[in-house]
Structure 1
């Protein structure tokens, strides 16, 4: 029997994702793709464990329109890291962390290294019985050091390993996970702290100077009256790296510009207008984020 090519393995993995987890699109990233999917059904618990590397899995309005979206993906990170984006918010989750992803909104998950995570489907109705669900709850990193997060991980593992759960018991486990996460999520509804307000101010400053060559961590720290070390720590507390955040914001706007650019518009000029003065660096960074060169991206999005 002939061995499958890398592209055939990728397509087979994506087909499994679409069959078991809902409608998604995907694109391989730089490096060798690997992907494996395990699914489990413990009565009322529907679980999917993805082990993969070098791929971007995402949902647009097109994928969302093809199916029921009345749930949330509760993502339990087991190994490696994942970059998750939704509602113009980005977070990086590490082993032991948890985050929520709304199935009714576009989202993106990027695995740039070997990663393993379990997604548990939470019915929207169950979550809304416990707390008011809004955009603020999605793609927030619930850190592994929080006691309720640790207990949720243990309960998930126990439920996954117990094949004898009855229907009522699995529903009780699902409700228990929601109850454990509720106080962590509710903490996000309080009045923003001084630190959160300062972070918002920095993000706004970044967005207003994305086309400027002077936009660097040192300049940001000076403009906001903090040390560079404090700036790095502020972003790290959000699961982010400041320089990577700036680069990704620029690349996202480059991609948006490319989608609407005329056929004869120079790609190097688009990159330059968003702070990429070296075309080779721009092309490499673009490929790392979107899995293809700017030219290939333009062809696909005409």
Structure 2
């Protein structure tokens, strides 16, 4: 006798393989013998999205899946038909048609689809989310209601984007920034009563940006210059889901990428690396590829062809 927990037919395995290829490492189990699933990918420039049809399936990402994956992005989940239940950390969202939520690929997550449903899953690079949330923590698995004006605009934009196959990198990155700007205001974890702390955080961010070219920039230096304990500095970043050293590295890489996108700036990669506070060109190249998916040279070439 075949039970719901042991249904692993070829169609199921094929669908799960497609999910893993398009979205990163997930596992799944069929909830019923009536399971079905289909997936269609769309890519254009920096846009990477999948439309997934499914029913009677539990899709999940464990700590082991996360630890063996280099995925550091977010998924913007658009519910196009039916309903689903998303869970991450302490948050749980029930999505209906038109609702939207974010899932952090660097953390375990659970998604349940009982009935016939369709979801559009868009990969949002972490740096796009960080910029859009102004470095506040993001409440993942939190429902953005279809009835909200920003959700309506985001749904229209992502559906229109599917019709644009010829987007170049600058155009497609502008779309990602626009989507992040629409989605994040409602789910950024801001503490409205912490104005003094927010001002201090802004002061810290400004100090970091002003000293990115300094190789000596470190948590101890920042804490001393802005008048805060190192522990307090770590705590302030941790509340926003950030790590001080990682934030500094990412800001340096983002500014390097900005320079590489500018056709009017001709600079050797090693000089660019040192100009933004990196002391090792090999480490810089490795870190850049980890953040942007390609080497600095390939990234520059991509934009020089526009």
TM-score range, shorter chain: 0.5 to 0.7
More moved, 42-51 vs 64-73: 64-73
Which of the numbers 83, 99, 102 marks the counterpart of 1:100?
102
Shift of residue 141, structure 1, vs aligned partner: 0.1
Q: Report if the CA contact (8 A) 2:16-2:27 is conserved.
A: yes
User: Which residue matches 1:189?
Assistant: 190
What TM-score do the two structures reach when normalised by structure 2? 0.58
Shift of 1:6: 6.7
Deviation string 1:132-156 (CA, Å, 9 cap, x unpaired) is 343x510000000110111011110
Structure 2, unaligned runs of 5 or more = 1-6, 194-306
The aligned runs of 1:101-250 (5 Å cut-off) are: 101-131=103-133, 132-134=135-137, 137-186=139-188, 188-191=189-192
Tell me, what secondary structure is at the counterpart of 1:171? helix
Partner of 1:36: 38
Q: Cα offset for 1:162?
A: 1.1
Aligned residue for 1:54?
A: 56
Please state whether the residue corresponding to 2:162 is helix, strand or coil: helix
For 1:60 and 1:181, how far apart are their aligned partners in 2? 26
Q: Is the 2:136–2:190 contact (alpha carbons within 8 Å) kept by the matching residues of 1?
A: no
Counterpart contact for 2:62–2:108, Cα < 8 Å: yes
TM-score (norm 1): 0.59
Deviation for aligned residue 1:58: 0.3
RMSD: 1.7
- How many angstroms apart in 1 are the aligned matches of 2:83 and 2:94? 7
Which protein, 1 or 2, shows the higher relative CO under an 8 Å CA cutoff with sep ≥ 6?
1
> Deviation string for 1:211-232 (max 9, x for gaps)?
xxxxxxxxxxxxxxxxxxxxxx
Contact residue 6 and residue 33 of structure 1 kept, 8 A? no
Measure, in 2, the Cα distance between the counterparts of 1:63 and 1:148.
32
Partner of 1:81: 83
Query: How many residues are treated as equivalent by the alignment?
Result: 186
Q: By how many angstroms is 1:163 displaced?
A: 1.2
Q: Is this contact kept in 1: 2:128–2:177, CA < 8 A?
A: yes
